[in-house]
Amino acid sequence: MHFGKNGTATRSLHSMRGERVYTQREGLLAVPPGRKEKKIQAYYRMLFSAWGCQHWWPARTRFEVIVGAYLTQNTAWTNVESALTNLRSARLLNLQGIRQVALPELERLIHSAGYFRQKARRLKTFVAFLDQHYGGSLRKLFSQPTAKLRQELLSLNGVGPETADSILLYAGNYPVFVVDAYTRRILDRHGILPEKTGYEEIRQLFERALNPLAAEALTTSSGEPATARRPSAGGAGHPPSRMSASRRTNVAQVYNEMHGLIVGVGKNYCRKSQAKCEECPLRCFLPPG
């Protein structure tokens, strides 16, 4: 990817500051309609310029992405990595392994991820769904239309919008943006949307904002694939992996990068408590006061 320098985003910020209006009902500085998308585009350019490619999702196979999407519910990624390491060491980080392993053993192996009994059952449920509807084939699963597959995933026990969209985007390379708690917090603190805004409204806002960037998305100034670049210091980047470097559409690539960049802001700066606003690359976009 190749974008303009940071100054472009900063000038956009200055032009927007005079257009913010205070909304007493929401208790925040609301960005007028039509400007929200521009702000999100500026955030993308600023963060990518600062941190580069984030190489999400860190996984070797599509099934590993799916397992990780389940395990990361309500826990830190470091806990998920420990559980994935256990499964890999036991040679169970594959469809046949999860299908055949006894439930108590699966619970033991993923204990570090928390809620291990629920998550073990949910992994078994997913494999049973895949076997029943797609003959155990991820290729057939990911050949389905986006809306159909998303609805099927949401119908499974323990799969909410964030988990379903993580599977779609990172395992299936579908152009679906993933909304998480970091996204909500950043939008709220920057006066774009209240933190309790519905998931679909946030997802659609980001997709509208990021779609125009897709034409710029997959090549660097040298013409090399952006996925070949290692992330710079900062953010929540990972070393390139087989899945992070897989081929995807321009739109899916932009969604992929933006979610990884948001995680970097949320983990390192826009924390729930003890936020480090003065050190954040997005500090210049904060509403005054």
For tokens 């205070």, the residue is 22
| pLDDT score recorded for residue 33 | 58
CA distance 16 to 10: 10
pLDDT for res 218 = 42
Please count the other Cβ atoms lying within 10 Å of the Cβ belonging to residue 112: 18
Block means of pLDDT (10 residues each) for the chain, 289 residues, are: 35 32 36 82 94 90 98 95 98 98 98 98 98 98 98 97 98 97 96 96 97 69 40 69 88 94 94 92 89
Q: Identify the DSSP state of 225.
A: B
- Is 7 exposed, middle or buried (CB count within 10 Å of its CB: 0-12, 13-18, 19+)? exposed
pTM: 0.83
Rg of the chain in Å (alpha carbons): 20
Q: How much is the pLDDT for 289?
A: 65
> What six digits make up the tokens of 113?
């991820």
